[in-house]
Amino acid sequence: MIGLGRSLLLTLGAEISTLKNFPVHVAAGIEVPSTPTALWCWLRAEDRGDLVHQTHQLCDLLADAFECESVLDAFKHAGGRDLTGYEDGTENPEGEEAINVAFVRGEGAGMDGSSFVAVQTWLHDFSLFNAMTQEQQDNSIGRRKSDNEELDDVPLSAHVKRTAQEDFTPEAFLLRRSMPWSDASGEGLQFVAFDRSFDSFEAQLKRMVGEDDGISDALFRFTRPITGCYFWCPPMKAGQLDLSALGL
């Protein structure tokens, strides 16, 4: 998959009004950074070696105008769980609902079928996480790790309380496609969320940092975002990216 950043669009003399700058948030002990970049590619495979060869092909193809800025390898863990053992995206929409959540429609050719993606690299601190009791961990997430069941009586800081999609007005549904990552620098979760706009993501992020009620998400006790980017994922036409919305 490919996402175009705002700096690239501006270089091309184009703009997509929904594609804005990723918001910076600062709260007590919390920093949510914005790290804009021109182009985002998500390579997928069943064989890690294929990713290596695809990366070389891609970098060679783009070399005249683009410089590879970052490479992050991710993997599926425990059937789709984060490295903490909890599942990200339990309430993900499916089927037609997922299509309604993730893709633009009703805005005309060139925009319809496109999507907007928020991408954040979260860096976990397992010395902090592993020092928590099982109950503290479950209360931080709001789910029981053993069976992923949502707990009834958890603190308002629990992640599921902060981000309950149906609790927002309007409802703030996202299509999440996050994956664990690990390299020499550490490990964590690559958060990836697709949406028709960034409204749902921004509503959830504001509540996570406590802008609504001063209560921040318990996730920040053991993990923090070290990147934050927005991209526009163009629609397809005849098997190719449709860039007509950019005048191309």
Partner 1 sequence: MAAYQTGILQEVPSVARYLTFSLIAGTNPLEPCEDWPSRAMANH
Q: Which residues are part of the catalytic machinery?
A: 88
The answer to the question of residue 179 lying near partner 1 (CB under 8 A) is yes
Distances (CA, A) of 203 to 53, 154, 164: 39, 21, 11
Which C-beta is closer to partner 1: that of 189 or that of 208?
Answer: 189
The answer to the question of residue 236 lying near partner 1 (CB under 8 A) is yes
- By CB under 8 A, the count of residues binding partner 1 is 71
Selected from 91, 112, 150, 187, the binder of partner 1 by CB under 8 A is 112
Reference 121, options 235, 211, 22, 232; nearest CA is: 22
The answer to the question of residue 197 lying near partner 1 (CB under 8 A) is no
CB of 184 to partner 1, least distance (A): 16
The answer to the question of residue 78 lying near partner 1 (CB under 8 A) is no
Report the C-alpha gap between 224 and 125 in whole angstroms: 8
Distances (CA, A) of 1 to 26, 45, 99, 129, 156: 31, 12, 16, 32, 36
CB of 15 to partner 1, least distance (A): 15
Are 157 and 163 in contact, with CB atoms under 8 Å apart? no
The answer to the question of residue 14 lying near partner 1 (CB under 8 A) is no
Stretch that binds partner 1, among 5-13, 22-30, 154-162, 199-207 (CB under 8 A): 5-13
The answer to the question of residue 57 lying near partner 1 (CB under 8 A) is yes
With residue 27 as reference, give the H or E element that holds it. strand 25-27
CB of 8 to partner 1, least distance (A): 6
The answer to the question of residue 69 lying near partner 1 (CB under 8 A) is yes
Selected from 141, 203, 208, 229, the binder of partner 1 by CB under 8 A is 229
Q: Compose the 84-103 pattern: x for residues touching partner 1 by CB under 8 A, - for all others.
A: --------------xx--xx
**72-75: Cβ within 8 A, 24+ apart:** 72/121, 72/181, 72/183, 72/190, 73/48, 73/181, 73/182, 73/183, 74/179, 74/180, 74/181, 74/190, 75/179, 75/180, 75/181, 75/182
Stretch that binds partner 1, among 66-74, 122-130, 146-154, 200-208 (CB under 8 A): 66-74
Report the C-alpha gap between 41 and 64 in whole angstroms: 17
The answer to the question of residue 243 lying near partner 1 (CB under 8 A) is yes
Which C-beta is closer to partner 1: that of 12 or that of 26?
Answer: 12
Report the C-alpha gap between 32 and 207 in whole angstroms: 13
